[in-house]
Amino acid sequence: MRQIKVLVVEDSLVFRELLVTNLNKDPAIQVVATATDPYEARDKIIEYKPDVMTLDIELPRMSGLEFLRKLMPQYPMPVIVLSALSEKVFDAMQAGAVDFVAKPPAANKKDLENLLENELPVKIKVASTAKISRIKHSVDTIDFRNNRRDDKKTIIAIGASTGGTEAIATVIKEFPADIPGTVIVQHMPAGFTEMYAKRLDDQCRCRVKEAENGDIVTQGLVLLAPGGDRQMSLVKVGDNYQVSLQKADKVNGHCPSVDVLFDSVARNAGCNAIGIILTGMGGDGAKGLKEMRDAGAKTIGQDESTCVVYGMPKVAYELGAVQYQEKLGDIAKKTYNLLNQR
């Protein structure tokens, strides 16, 4: 089996050696080179032609973010960003990074071991299969002013993983201020979901916030499941929908899990729902989307050509869960068309 060639760009000697030592323990991965700054990294990319690059955000001579912005238009490649808790990771994702991992404090040995031995090797393997393109997704903008509707009963549920931060943004930036209540699970570490929600709230016409237990799902509001150790589900309380956040085990290796959310939407919203599954590795959300479709919901899957990783939507499609397969730039329009058919 051909090993995945990795370039590690990290200015800290100690952390760089930890990365190299632990990544090389995985038989599927070979660290072919290291670099301490973007200028050295550029030369190593040309010389070694790595399959994947891990990139620290804070680097000498040029920031990792600036380097990424210069690199991707000329030499698109799978990049995983390593960062402390910072909104800069979302700028990096917008610049073309495939994924990111949170750098734990050095004193937190448990999280550090998990990063080095589990999380980062898995993400490198996923990134090596990612579709990287210079082309931005075109969006067919809708004039919502001509198609307004009052809808307080419908729920929109969205699930995504690898590549999902930009995919979700592409979809919900096109939502109007009065979009039906929307609930989202994006696989993401604790802490980052709050920043991501605030970032989307600044960019969107609808309101976006990190969900809290008991939040009412109302028209014009998008609720993003917080990363961490709680599963998010939809519950019906009287005439209202609410979100429930409860500590629980991982499902499909994830907490929060898309399947948990979609299952609850199928049970409680039934035919009054639209389910959307976006780019991501694995199969989380596929069974839940099938439950939604079987309960009468309309379901949409992102197509292979626009996915960073055609995993979750592929499994859902093969399971018969996807009713409409759409390019990323067409999903918001399709969603609104389905709403107007009700």
**Which residues are identified as catalytic?**
161, 187, 284
Q: How far apart are CA 11 and CA 15, in angstroms?
A: 8
H or E, element range at 66: helix 64-74
* Sheet bearing 298-302, strands edge to edge: 207-210, 221-224, 182-186, 155-160, 273-277, 298-302, 324-326
Dihedral sign (CA 56, 94, 309, 185): positive
Tokens standing for residue 168? 């979700």
- Show Cβ contacts of residue 277 under 8 Å, excluding neighbours closer than 6 positions: 158, 159, 160, 258, 285, 286, 289, 299, 300, 301, 302, 312, 313, 316, 321, 322
Number of H helices, E strands in the chain: 12, 14
